[in-house]
Structure 1
């Protein structure tokens, strides 16, 4: 089970480091001419020269329930040149990871998000400098207040890194907030959690309590403070930009599935 969780977490680190690794290995040659999207009984699949794609490891057919997700995967396949570079295919990698994990991983993914929320980025504060303290209070407290009002929970932030247990009822209600989320959604939420270091931000995003840009800003309060103090580092900026691509892809999966669920509810 842990191996499968780590596989899902690859999307949290699938930016600069993984791209560098992929650039060092021999990439497979492109073997197809045409890319299309086909609709079947179970959903939508990308086809390469008329043949539906499968995951690279377990060779499981890749089918998604939402057309926009299949279209994005098709776009990534179509944009490949002479060689196929997985580093440039974040949607394909995220969906493949979900498909290969399998539905049996749903409880584990929920638990992983809950584990982050129990010792969340937003709950551990700096004691200095005052500028950083104020920024954390302003940005992070705003998210905590929205979550507290939405789910009728309470948080216990602390200063420093010594573990501060959160109320059991709070963690139970946050876990319940993930009930009903399927494999694709939870895979994307695990990715968002890993990229931001925050299960609370992932849950707030799921319920549209915050925007994606607000999530990204909240996740980088400390880093942005350091940049203002010491200046920008080109390699760090490149790594952050690549992680933002992974983040945006995961967000688009959550939003597409939310829209699909909303449309389905209107038809019932």
Structure 2
């Protein structure tokens, strides 16, 4: 559904070899001793024994924010004998942005708007009663905040049949993203994919919700099922992985907007 994120997933291990099935593929050994952050043409970059990491397309990973480069350096420095891409969500996120390039920026912004028009928060269950009530309690509160903040309206629906949202609403959301630069847009896309909600991503960006409130709203259905059926180990592992990616994207947003 989201072309960019599907493409970005193919590059999740950029800069240190692609390992799509990490349990089956041997991890690369750490090939550097010293990790640092230095100035580079166009901004800042991690240095591995004085050299700047590159993407598979051989693009140097240079960012306009020293804090982002420092966060990536932390992940590189934390690697032990082997480099485990699963423990480097910040590096993977930024490499995806570098691979995308500014030519994809408008498409990245628009993807969030498109997602918002078919958003998780807008499609409600009709049963069971407990889940309906929880969706109303959590999701309606988010929609109200967004509606008041942007002076717009939403049209939630029951079921999965497509319900178009008002054109002025989508246009206002589009306008709100007009100043999002590349790295921020990639982080917002990542959050949108993780949560299933462009509206939650926009609400976080606008300071209407905290990260924890976003995470809770994104997992209303899943948390209901956990309460009903109990914890499933595999699902718990997937959730932990998503949380790591979520936290990395949130951290990027805080750094670029701080």
User: Same fold per TM (> 0.5)?
Assistant: yes
Higher RCO (CA < 8 A, seq sep 6+): 1
Matched, 1:135 2:134: yes
Quote the residue 2:39 is aligned against: 39
Q: Which runs of 5+ in 2 are unaligned?
A: 13-17
Which digits, 9 at most, give the CA deviation of each residue in 1:103-139, with x for residues without a partner?
Answer: 0101111121111101100001111111111111110
Measured after TM superposition, the shift of residue 23 of structure 1 is: 2.6
Matched, 1:123 2:122: yes
Q: 1: CA distance between counterparts of 2:65 and 2:9?
A: 23
**Runs (4+) off by over 4 Å:** 2-5, 9-12
Which digits, 9 at most, give the CA deviation of each residue in 1:150-188, with x for residues without a partner?
Answer: 111100001111111100110111111100101100000
Q: How does 1:126-165 map to 2 (within 5 A)?
A: 126-165=125-164
More helix by share: 1
Contact 1:113 1:199 in 2 (8 A): yes
Matched, 1:227 2:226: yes
SS of structure 1 residue aligned to 2:215: helix
Q: How does 1:176-255 map to 2 (within 5 A)?
A: 176-255=175-254
Q: 1:64 to 1:20 in 2, by over 3 A?
A: closer
SS of structure 1 residue aligned to 2:46: strand
Matched, 1:29 2:24: no
Quote the residue 1:173 is aligned against: 172
Measured after TM superposition, the shift of residue 254 of structure 1 is: 0.9
Q: 2: CA distance between counterparts of 1:9 and 1:156?
A: 32
Measured after TM superposition, the shift of residue 198 of structure 1 is: 0.3
SS of structure 1 residue aligned to 2:152: coil
Q: 2: CA distance between counterparts of 1:9 and 1:111?
A: 19
Matched, 1:88 2:114: no
Contact 2:5 2:190 in 1 (8 A): no
Quote the residue 2:15 is aligned against: none
SS of structure 2 residue aligned to 1:26: coil
Quote the residue 1:262 is aligned against: none
Count of residue pairs the alignment pairs up = 252
SS of structure 1 residue aligned to 2:38: strand
Q: Which runs of 5+ in 1 are unaligned?
A: 13-17, 260-268
Q: 2: CA distance between counterparts of 1:228 and 1:19?
A: 35
Contact 2:126 2:132 in 1 (8 A): yes
Quote the residue 1:73 is aligned against: 72
Q: 1: CA distance between counterparts of 2:9 and 2:71?
A: 21
Measured after TM superposition, the shift of residue 68 of structure 1 is: 2.0
Q: What is the TM-score of this pair, normalised by structure 1? A: 0.89
SS of structure 2 residue aligned to 1:54: coil
Quote the residue 1:266 is aligned against: none
CA RMSD in angstroms, aligned pairs only: 1.9
Measured after TM superposition, the shift of residue 216 of structure 1 is: 0.4
Q: 1: CA distance between counterparts of 2:193 and 2:95?
A: 18
Contact 1:204 1:210 in 2 (8 A): yes
Contact 1:11 1:94 in 2 (8 A): no
Contact 1:106 1:182 in 2 (8 A): yes
Measured after TM superposition, the shift of residue 10 of structure 1 is: 6.2
Quote the residue 1:103 is aligned against: 102
Quote the residue 1:264 is aligned against: none
Q: What is the TM-score of this pair, normalised by structure 2? A: 0.93
